Amino acid sequence: MPKPTRTTFAALVGLATVATAVVVPLNAYALDTVALAFDGCSNEDTLTISNPKPGATYAVRLPEGLTDLMSGTTWRRLSSLNVGAGDLAVGVNETIEGATTQLMVSKQGTPYGGTVTLSDLMCTVPSVGFTDLSGTESDTYQVVDADGVVYRKGSTVIEPGIYVGTGTVAITATADDGYTLANETNTAVPASWTHTFSANRTISVPEDRKPTLIAGSSGDVLRVWNITGVAWNVNGTAVTLAPTDAFKDVPAGATGTNTVTATAATGYLLTGTSLWTLTGVSSVTIAKEQVPTSSDQPGSKKDTVNIVAVTGVKWKVNGVDGTFPAGQSTTQVPTGGKDKVTVTAVSADTAKYRLTGTTTWNLDFKLGTQITIPASREPLANDLSGTAQDTVTVYAVDKVTWTVGRTEVVFDKDQTSKNIPTNGAALVTVKATPTTSGTTGSTSADTEIAGTDTWTLQFSTAAQSMSGSPSVAARTNEVGITERRSMVGWAAPEGLKGPASYDVFYRIVKVTDAGARVPGAWKVRMRATKNTSGVFSGLPGGVYEVSVRAIGADGTTSQWSAPSRVFVPFDIRRQGGAAGKNWTFRAQPKAAAGTLLTSTTHGASWSMTTPATDQVMLWVGTGPRHGYLDVVIDGKRQARVNTWSARPYAKQMLVKVPVAWGRHQVSVSNVRFGSRNTAELDAIGFHR
């Protein structure tokens, strides 16, 4: 019985609909139009015409008795279905064994492409499973019930069910009348199964019973465990264990590498790991040139123990691990001023290394004489304004010689301290050493300074800073403000020696989706500039903060000024506010974006919803024909602004309206005052 197949017809010919009877050659659209017939299980047969040529028509001719799912119409043999532009899928819900479907050019009546045979078979999937456990008592195989499937063991038909499994079992499946062995996607499925059941008991070596190598003082051994059904072989020799033995230790081989193999005894089947390679423990003896030595220096602070890196050895100096710098094979470990030090060598890894011979050494050191410098006598940095006055104060200490930079300090008789000029240096090193001769008394060669003996003192090479800070003004209401620029000015604090230079920093202030105000990181806008003002450019609606510090002619530095906010306004059109038909735009070069939103109608209004803010700022035009503007926020009038001036646009007016932090509905309305009926809106901004 045949299985369902998937058949692709040859490309269809597209026939243009024209006034004259001209036949398009067969291969004219060979790559354009494709017919695909799908022979499914029973009523899942379909026919698809893909990518037809626009302007051409095609016919599908179906045998008598086949029904189209789309229209429910039964087509007779020789009747046709015209297909326009666009894919067409024809579903067939009733098939006739051996029936054919033809495709042809409609105007000529001559079929092109090919035919397909549609079957009416049902798909069915057979299944057989095997359960093969240790031994034979629980071995089974299962024949799964499936419609239209006939199972045979050899030549004998068997019913679905569970059977005892022994030896070799071979099962085949065939399809009954009206069925085919395939899944719903018309893919062939297995039709035969063979399995040989094992009579052996399955065993494996548990993780806690795998072979191990044990290091001992008299030699290494390999331990293997007594496991029923497992036979052991160590380094090529079989190991015999008595029934009462829990395990057995076998001497390790002389080569250091050992091989242990597990095999199954008669009646058993071994699974899992059966081969292990175990490396023996290496013996390490500290050679003469590797023995720790002492480095006994004058005094005791610089005393060290010298150790050499040895493979497999970890050193301990007075119980503390000795470490080696990267890439170095020797190191010096400070004694910490101790007169007796014990150095011990231990195995770095007991599974790999065993130490032999001497492993402990006791080293003796001479402590010498200790001189302690009191905290009240430590060097003092005198960092004054400028650099000419900077000095280092050192104090006379018995049997101590001071060196400041490269200058050795000599005290006069009865002099207790001395100030040494820094000569403008930013960093000055002061060192104390035991005196070998001189007025402060001499010391022996084994004398040292206890505790700190070197100090590095830092001095400012610039003038001292002052407490004042520059004044900063963000001039947001000047004529000529633009939607991308705002002017900021600053001035030096009182008392700063001029001419001054300035460092100008800025940061962006953002608002999160939740409405929280978030200042960004400070960035450099100008460095050491002589200018006292600057134009800040930014995105429309941007809010920035500016901080300035001044540097005087003598190097004196002021404090940073408190952050001053700079606003880059939106042109009134950018915010998408709602304006009625009574508003128009007129050109005005001094406006933020070169235009003003103008109305002469009493009550004409413009409105919008603000972002999160605590102050609404409006820039408006002024002139002799201008009346009042009402600013309404959240339905309540907050301000009435008089926009009259003697000359047109004589000045730019900035209206600031404080509000509670959050989003608000803002509306601006024109209010006539006598003959003054003009209102002009320029830009808007939001404080944050």
Which segment of 8-22, 152-166, 477-491, 574-588 scores lowest on mean pLDDT? 8-22
Look up the domain containing 186 and give its range. 122-199
Has residue 460 been placed in a domain?
no
Does 149 have pLDDT greater than 60? yes
The tokens describing 387, both together, are 């650099």
* Closest by Cα among 22, 23, 39, 6 to 112: 23
Domain count across the chain: 7
Show Cβ contacts of residue 138 under 8 Å, excluding neighbours closer than 6 positions: 131
pTM over 0.75? The answer is: no
Has residue 626 been placed in a domain?
yes
Return the bridge partners of 169, or none: 195
pLDDT at 442: 62
Between 103 and 332, residue with greater pLDDT: 332
Has residue 575 been placed in a domain?
yes
Coil/strand/helix, residue 267? coil
Has residue 462 been placed in a domain?
no
- Percent with pLDDT over 90 in the chain: 26
Show Cβ contacts of residue 605 under 8 Å, excluding neighbours closer than 6 positions: 579, 580, 667, 668, 669, 670
Which segment of 68-82, 479-493, 596-610 scores lowest on mean pLDDT? 68-82
Question: Do 149 and 250 share a domain, yes or no?
Answer: no
Read off the CATH number of the domain in which 107 is found: 2.60.40
The tokens describing 541, both together, are 């609606």
Q: Taking residues 624-628, what's their average pLDDT? A: 90
Mean pLDDT (the chain) is 78
Has residue 463 been placed in a domain?
no
Question: Do 83 and 16 share a domain, yes or no?
Answer: yes
pLDDT at 104: 40
Question: Do 476 and 509 share a domain, yes or no?
Answer: yes
Between 3 and 100, residue with greater pLDDT: 100
Question: Do 71 and 14 share a domain, yes or no?
Answer: yes
Residue at which a domain ends, from 118, 143, 165: 118
Read off the CATH number of the domain in which 609 is found: 2.60.120.260
Q: Are 144 and 124 in contact (CB under 8 A)?
A: no
Question: Do 589 and 539 share a domain, yes or no?
Answer: no
Strands 282-285 and 613-620: unpaired
Has residue 1 been placed in a domain?
no
The predicted-structure confidence for 373-389, as pLDDT tens digits, reads as follows: 888 899 998 876 556 67
Does 181 have pLDDT greater than 50? yes
Question: Do 13 and 107 share a domain, yes or no?
Answer: yes
Question: Do 377 and 478 share a domain, yes or no?
Answer: no
pLDDT at 84: 46
Question: Do 437 and 500 share a domain, yes or no?
Answer: no
Q: Taking residues 21-43, what's their average pLDDT? A: 47
Does 413 have pLDDT greater than 80? yes
Which segment of 206-215, 238-247, 262-271, 506-515 scores lowest on mean pLDDT? 506-515
Binned at pLDDT 50, 70 and 90, residue 61 comes out as: low
Question: Do 409 and 331 share a domain, yes or no?
Answer: no
Question: Do 377 and 436 share a domain, yes or no?
Answer: yes
Question: Do 87 and 17 share a domain, yes or no?
Answer: yes
